[in-house]
Structure 1
Amino acid sequence: MRIGLLGTGPWARMVHAPALSGHDELEFVGVWGRRADAAKELAGRHGTRAYDDVDALLAEVDAVAVALPPDVQADLAVRAARAGCHLLLDKPLAATVSQGRAVVEAAREAQVASVVFFTTRFQTGPESWIASQAGQEGWFTARAEWLGAVFTGDSPFADSPWRQEKGALWDVGPHALSVLLPVLGDVRRVAAAAHGPGDTVHVVLDHAGGASSTLTLSLTAPPAAAGAAVELRGTAGVTTLPESSEEAVASFARAADALLTAARTGRPHPCDAAFGLRVTEILAAAESLLAR
């Protein structure tokens, strides 16, 4: 599969480009970015071509990987789908529900495959745990904490304008939802949402399976308090999401594998654009409660 990369920021440099250039079943055709000099530098580092015109790159590839802010990603994903390109996207899918819906509709109309890179879902141990818990019944409550120190530590993402605007709800909220939804079922209602210190938010969800869950999300946690944890409680007892030492590059390569499989078979991956849209809808509902 011939694939191009849209984006040149820290995530593209740290994860996307190394995974694409090192993948045995992908031909890394080129890079496009909003800054031509950055695209040229990143392409040169991985022995590929920098494109000044995004449409020229889309015309040369079978798929694109996108490492851009969600509002920019959504618009370019629609454009890429209409050009017949399969989509390897990042979370969150879009900045608004209408943008996310446009991506899903464009992918459906063009009959292209899509995978959204929810990191935990492509880590071997956590994904196996999620599948195992999804097969259990009788879950009562769940607790998910995703506490980052992006704005309090030494993070390459601290200068990200969209993270500064949208905060933890939209940056790490998708990770928590990607774990809870396959286990507890869809969210019937966002029951409550409240602000905490910094950009911290607390969200209470009512799930279709009958369980409730609470989310604590932050990008402004003290570095010593940063980390992620998910705990499930039900008739089967108590279980927690296992930690993973898997590097993001390896996880992203597995997401690329998933895109290849979906493109070859025509069977949607569980983390496709439609799932990304559902996550976006839940985030938007929580954001609306917070605004009130």
Structure 2
Amino acid sequence: MRIGLLGTGPWARAAHAPALSLHEELDFAGVWGRRPDAARDLAARHGVRAYDDVDALLSDVDAVAVALPPDVQAGLAARAARAGCHLLLDKPLAPTVEQGRSVVEAVRESAVASVVFFTARFQPEPEAWIAEQAAVRGWFTARAQWLGAVFTGDSPFAASPWRREKGALWDVGPHALSVLLPVLGDARRVTAAAHGPGDTVHLVLDHVGGASSTLTLSLTAPPAAAGAAVELRGEAGVAVLPDSSEGAVPALVRAAGALLTAARTGRPHPCDAAFALRVTEILATAEAALNGRAL
């Protein structure tokens, strides 16, 4: 499968480009970016072609990986799908439900495969844990904390305009939901939402399985307090999400492999664009509640 990369920022350089280069069943064919100089530099590092015209890249490949802000990703993902390209996307799928639906519609109309990169879903230990807990009955409640120090530490993403605008809800909220939803079921309601320090938010969700969950999300945590944790409590006792022994690049290699499998078999991956749209819908509901609109 020939795959192109859309994007040249820190995430594209640190994760996407290395992962595409490492995958043995992918032909990393080229890079397009909104800054042509950056595209040429990243392409040269990996020995691939730099494209000035995104449509030229789309016509030359079978799939694209997208490492761009959510509002840019949504438009280009729909465009790529209509050009017949399979999609390896990042979270969040889009900054609005309407934009997310446009991606899902393009995927369905073009019959292409899609995989959205929720990190924990492609790391061996968390992935196995999620599958194991999803088979357990009687969960009563869950607590998820995703605390980042993007705005308080030395992060390459601190200058990201969309993270400044949308905050932790949209940046790390998708990670928490990607773990909770397959275990507890879809969220029927956001029953409470409140602001904390900085961009910190607290949410309470009511799940179709009967359990409730609480989420604490932040990009402004003190560096010493940063980290992610998920704890489930129910009839089976207590279960805690394990740490992963691997970083983002090996997980992205697995996500690319999942896209290959979905494209070959025609069977949707659990983390496809439709699942990412549902995550977007929950985030939009929580955002409305945080802004004082009806739940």
Partner of 1:98: 98
Partner of 1:40: 40
Please list every run of 5 or more consecutive structure 2 residues that lacks an aligned counterpart in the other structure.
Answer: none
Rounded Cα–Cα distance in structure 1 between residues aligned with 2:247 and 2:280: 26
Partner of 2:5: 5
Rounded Cα–Cα distance in structure 2 between residues aligned with 1:31 and 1:152: 32
Paired residue secondary structure (1:95):
coil
Report whether the alignment pairs 1:169 with 2:149. no
Rounded Cα–Cα distance in structure 1 between residues aligned with 2:137 and 2:22: 40
Rounded Cα–Cα distance in structure 2 between residues aligned with 1:134 and 1:247: 24
Rounded Cα–Cα distance in structure 1 between residues aligned with 2:99 and 2:124: 31
TM-score, length basis structure 1? 1.00
Q: What residue identity is the alignment partner of 2:237?
A: G
Q: What residue identity is the alignment partner of 2:139?
A: W
Partner of 2:205: 205
Report whether the alignment pairs 1:111 with 2:111. yes
Rounded Cα–Cα distance in structure 2 between residues aligned with 1:63 and 1:149: 33
Partner of 2:236: 236
User: How many residues in Structure 1 have an aligned counterpart in Structure 2?
Assistant: 292
Rounded Cα–Cα distance in structure 2 between residues aligned with 1:234 and 1:81: 42
Q: What residue identity is the alignment partner of 1:174?
A: P
Q: What residue identity is the alignment partner of 2:204?
A: V
Paired residue secondary structure (1:136):
coil
1:17-55 Cα offsets, whole Å, 9 max, x none, are 001011110001100000000000000000001000000
Q: What residue identity is the alignment partner of 1:67?
A: A
CA RMSD of aligned residues (A): 0.3
Partner of 2:140: 140
Q: What residue identity is the alignment partner of 1:240?
A: V
1:208-235 Cα offsets, whole Å, 9 max, x none, are 0000000000000000000000000000
Rounded Cα–Cα distance in structure 2 between residues aligned with 1:21 and 1:55: 22
Partner of 1:125: 125
Rounded Cα–Cα distance in structure 2 between residues aligned with 1:176 and 1:23: 27
Partner of 2:71: 71
Partner of 1:227: 227
- Extract structure 1 runs of 4+ deviating beyond 4 A: none
Rounded Cα–Cα distance in structure 2 between residues aligned with 1:121 and 1:280: 17
Q: What residue identity is the alignment partner of 1:217?
A: L
Partner of 2:285: 285
Paired residue secondary structure (2:152):
coil
1:73-117 Cα offsets, whole Å, 9 max, x none, are 000000000000000000000010000000000000000000000
Partner of 1:255: 255
TM-score, length basis structure 2? 0.99
1:48-79 Cα offsets, whole Å, 9 max, x none, are 01000000000000000000000100000000
Query: How far is 1:245 from its partner?
Result: 2.3
Q: Percent identity?
A: 82
Rounded Cα–Cα distance in structure 2 between residues aligned with 1:247 and 1:218: 20
Partner of 2:178: 178
Partner of 1:50: 50
Please list every run of 5 or more consecutive structure 1 residues that lacks an aligned counterpart in the other structure.
Answer: none
Q: What residue identity is the alignment partner of 2:228?
A: A
Paired residue secondary structure (1:59):
helix
Rounded Cα–Cα distance in structure 2 between residues aligned with 1:279 and 1:266: 23
Paired residue secondary structure (1:199):
coil
Report whether the alignment pairs 1:152 with 2:170. no
Rounded Cα–Cα distance in structure 1 between residues aligned with 2:235 and 2:187: 20
Partner of 2:28: 28
Rounded Cα–Cα distance in structure 1 between residues aligned with 2:23 and 2:129: 26
Rounded Cα–Cα distance in structure 2 between residues aligned with 1:21 and 1:128: 26
Q: What residue identity is the alignment partner of 2:99?
A: Q
Rounded Cα–Cα distance in structure 2 between residues aligned with 1:221 and 1:2: 40
Partner of 1:276: 276
Partner of 2:82: 82
1:122-173 Cα offsets, whole Å, 9 max, x none, are 0000000000000001000000000000000000000000000000000000
Paired residue secondary structure (1:151):
coil
Rounded Cα–Cα distance in structure 1 between residues aligned with 2:228 and 2:36: 36
Rounded Cα–Cα distance in structure 2 between residues aligned with 1:23 and 1:272: 20
Q: What residue identity is the alignment partner of 2:68?
A: L
Paired residue secondary structure (1:155):
coil
Q: What residue identity is the alignment partner of 2:276?
A: G
